[in-house]
Structure 1
């Protein structure tokens, strides 16, 4: 009987020794280099995103799960969306190269970092680098994983709508800031994916005054107008379109809002000025494509913690600082995705330095992120889920989600609030502006033309008869053939944009 306590103690020690093996816990130190700007004007600044990365780190450690043995040594570095990140990576790698790089977000800065990291076979995960060119993972961007939906993924929403509603043509209007160029790259994705449709483009610089007359002059031979620019400029365009009676259902209007960085939907038309009423009516024709928002219990706690961090950083006075945007979510999920892939690779006998193997295990998989399920495609890009918002109550000026697009299977889901009449083009060719009459005689009706032509022909024949009879002149008839081409083919596609819409 006295042996039993010793036997029980021995069993407890034995289970404690075996516990790491039984739970598949692997212990490893991981050097993580994170590139985030200190400037809080960026939606992906250090003050916003760093708390999400630490939240993921602490959560994996506290859960005591199979990833709790990973010790992430996180080094945050400032990136100015120009060259800082590349120089920092070079300096740090003189001693020991990082095991993982998070960021950068900005296209031009990310391009340089990802090229070098891919050459060194270091995994890079970014919630940015969304431009079309980063989809080339065969060579220079081979170790890049994009944890946020790219612009091409967003464009799939438009192709699904065009196919569903049988639209054929679009005008892409965007503001180009020549620095981050978010709108340039956003609509580049649309242009790239919609090559089979008739696409026109209109670009203007943020320094230039907005020429709404010139913009709207391009709309008359297309069906859909897709805009990417500041909220105030969209309002100005919609007011001008409403004054020209272009918002009566003859054309479709869309704006793109991916980052939750400015107001959209309810109240986006409201400025408290004398044009509010007209703007509300104009916005009844404006639809918004945005990221699909999902909510689950864990996300609510994450939101509370991120809000506390924002308040602690003293960012309450800046616009939209309290929003948990896709960058914040993305970098949290990046930590989890890397942990999953690293654990699998190490269980299979690979080391943390085998960046190629770890990167491949992050692709073509689905896992549970902070806001819901995350699906990565075979090319290492996140499949995007997007929502279509429309004004469903014009009197109140209220918006709601009317349809969702699910990128993982390419389905377009219509919700109860969807109204087919709202997305049906009506008599659009009847309200073209009056154009100067450049062709003589086109004001005469076809019947009148036939009658006048017949009378003139008869007179000429009679005159010709008497001419021969009275003067006995032998007439030599010659047949002259002319080929007339009065029709003009107007080619709407602007091929030159292909040389302008290029990746970073």
Structure 2
């Protein structure tokens, strides 16, 4: 029996060696929505995929001696459509890789099926906390940093500014609810004492009501909302007098920006400036705001990527099935490029070890994987999730938001790099500057003034005095009533005596009768 098993293992290794020495055809089922959702679609993302496929044809590139076929399947952005697309891909295309879907709602079912089929699934957008469960999603590898990294960022913020107590206000759309849920996954470093949902159509009076509830128990307020909608809420905060330096507002989200959008809307004054009558109030209110977001590509690299994406946008190949023509690349397209090449590198390494590049084996290769990508240095953790880089931005005196702290991961540690010296690191409401002048998360006197309450006086002496005086008055009243009663009795007795000896006139007698 052992001899047969050893012979079979030998034949299997031999077949693998023959397989790796010859050209092999790998098939990628690219799952992406035809319709645009959350700033991405198949047409806006495909540029990154096409660049990666062309890169594989270069000499010494991973899988350069192999054929890679790609077919697009419309996953839409919901579970039902994505499941149908995945089953179709499995039956008609027999993929070696599911690339996507980008929407988290669509990824859930696809990643579970891929796990069941032992097929690797690489994500370039889906970053919900749920996907860290590698029992359910055992073959999933994510190249965009997952939201479950947000608590680490919040831990840093909590430590630097000495904040432990926060309130959460989030937009009611799914991507922002996911951010709120991720941030609430905290340890003992900080806690969220209240959570409220908002939307851009909400009346200012409703927002004010939420603020009035929040301010009872919090001074540091986290907003998981789109950056360009932050102004609406800060104008209400201004109306309520919450911008004098005793409150701080953190805008945190999972949105990713292209380089041109970053220049236009993020590292600019457009967050608060709309050229209307509220600009002055908005600018004053935004002194209290810190903006924390995922890092973007450096300008030079972003421009170069856009040029390549435009160059290959309309390219087609006999190995590409149903790939659309590309449009202006979205912010996530570079991550699709990195996801595709990271898969190729892992497959190449797996083949060199005479192993089959299935889901389980590629997941093993992803553990602590690192490589230089177009989106920066790629470092994956022990469950195949990428470490996430953030930047902290604050408004300067000229009204422009600039990065003050970079929060980055390297191969071994989490690194925070400051852009300015400590005295001017962050600006607060009321003209305050620096970390030491950050508003406390609890008012000096407490939320109910309990820390500044005057000590109660000792009223023991007062009580004794009042009781003594009351007893004295009571005794006097009693004595007075007794004396008065005695005098009344004596008077009545005297009157009775006089009445007894009063003379009476007898009309029938001729003399006075005094016998009575």
State the TM-score bracket (shorter-chain normalisation): 0.7 to 0.9
Residue among 138, 161, 175 paired with 2:171: 175
CA distance in 2 between counterparts of 1:288 and 1:73 reads: 42
* SS, match of residue 25 in structure 2: strand
Q: Which residue of 2 aligns with 1:219?
A: 215
Residue among 350, 372, 384 paired with 2:388: 384
Q: Which residue of 2 aligns with 1:493?
A: none
Residue 63 to residue 246, structure 1, CA distance change in 2 (3 Å): farther
Residue 430 to residue 446, structure 1, CA distance change in 2 (3 Å): closer
Residue 470 to residue 273, structure 1, CA distance change in 2 (3 Å): closer
Residue among 230, 234, 238 paired with 2:234: 238
Where do residues 386-405 of structure 1 align in structure 2 (5 Å cutoff)?
386-393=390-397, 396-405=398-407
* SS, match of residue 151 in structure 2: helix
Residue among 449, 468, 471 paired with 1:464: 471
Indicate if the aligned counterparts of 1:48 and 1:310 stay in contact, CA closer than 8 A.
no
**Displacement, 1:96?**
4.7
Residue among 127, 142, 145 paired with 2:124: 127
**Displacement, 1:303?**
2.5
Q: Which residue of 2 aligns with 1:369?
A: 373
Indicate if the aligned counterparts of 2:28 and 2:69 stay in contact, CA closer than 8 A.
yes
Q: Which residue of 1 aligns with 2:289?
A: 286
Indicate if the aligned counterparts of 1:390 and 1:400 stay in contact, CA closer than 8 A.
yes
Residue 220 to residue 307, structure 1, CA distance change in 2 (3 Å): farther
Mark the runs of 5 or more structure 2 residues left unpaired by the alignment. 1-16, 316-326, 426-432, 480-516
Indicate if the aligned counterparts of 2:111 and 2:137 stay in contact, CA closer than 8 A.
yes
Q: Which residue of 1 aligns with 2:41?
A: 45
Residue 431 to residue 307, structure 1, CA distance change in 2 (3 Å): farther
**Displacement, 1:40?**
3.0
Q: Which residue of 2 aligns with 1:413?
A: 417
**Displacement, 1:389?**
0.4
* SS, match of residue 304 in structure 1: helix
CA distance in 2 between counterparts of 1:456 and 1:54 reads: 90
Residue 87 to residue 52, structure 1, CA distance change in 2 (3 Å): same
Mark the runs of 5 or more structure 1 residues left unpaired by the alignment. 1-20, 313-320, 440-444, 473-504
Residue among 417, 429, 434 paired with 2:443: 429
Residue 401 to residue 26, structure 1, CA distance change in 2 (3 Å): farther
CA distance in 2 between counterparts of 1:296 and 1:425 reads: 32
**Displacement, 1:370?**
1.0
**Displacement, 1:429?**
3.0
Q: Which residue of 1 aligns with 2:323?
A: none
* SS, match of residue 375 in structure 2: coil
Residue among 87, 92, 96 paired with 2:89: 92
Where do residues 193-212 of structure 1 align in structure 2 (5 Å cutoff)?
193-194=186-187, 196-199=189-192, 200-205=194-199, 208-209=202-203, 211-212=206-207
Where do residues 2-151 of structure 1 align in structure 2 (5 Å cutoff)?
27-82=23-78, 83-137=80-134, 139-151=135-147
Indicate if the aligned counterparts of 1:124 and 1:143 stay in contact, CA closer than 8 A.
yes
Indicate if the aligned counterparts of 2:30 and 2:100 stay in contact, CA closer than 8 A.
yes
CA distance in 2 between counterparts of 1:415 and 1:323 reads: 30
The answer to whether residue 349 in structure 2 is matched with residue 344 in structure 1 is yes
TM-score normalized with structure 1 length: 0.76
Residue 450 to residue 93, structure 1, CA distance change in 2 (3 Å): closer
Residue 73 to residue 361, structure 1, CA distance change in 2 (3 Å): same
Q: CA RMSD in A?
A: 3.3
Q: Which residue of 1 aligns with 2:512?
A: none
Residue among 263, 266, 275 paired with 1:264: 266
Residue 400 to residue 298, structure 1, CA distance change in 2 (3 Å): closer
CA distance in 2 between counterparts of 1:286 and 1:176 reads: 21
For the pair shown, the structure with the greater C-alpha radius of gyration is: 2
Cα deviation per residue 1:472-499 (whole Å; 9 max; x = unaligned)? 9xxxxxxxxxxxxxxxxxxxxxxxxxxx
The answer to whether residue 174 in structure 2 is matched with residue 185 in structure 1 is no
Cα deviation per residue 1:99-157 (whole Å; 9 max; x = unaligned)? 001111222211111111101111001122311111111x2100111110111213321
Cα deviation per residue 1:406-446 (whole Å; 9 max; x = unaligned)? 2441232222266243443347737999x9x9x9xxxxx95
CA distance in 2 between counterparts of 1:322 and 1:331 reads: 14
Q: Which residue of 2 aligns with 1:478?
A: none
CA distance in 1 between counterparts of 2:62 and 2:26 reads: 15
* SS, match of residue 94 in structure 1: helix
* SS, match of residue 335 in structure 1: helix
Cα deviation per residue 1:173-192 (whole Å; 9 max; x = unaligned)? 11113xxx000001111111
CA distance in 1 between counterparts of 2:468 and 2:168 reads: 57
Residue among 246, 251, 254 paired with 1:255: 251
Q: Which residue of 1 aligns with 2:499?
A: none
**Displacement, 1:195?**
5.6
**Displacement, 1:333?**
0.5
* SS, match of residue 61 in structure 1: coil
CA distance in 2 between counterparts of 1:268 and 1:248 reads: 19
Indicate if the aligned counterparts of 2:47 and 2:329 stay in contact, CA closer than 8 A.
no
Indicate if the aligned counterparts of 1:260 and 1:323 stay in contact, CA closer than 8 A.
no
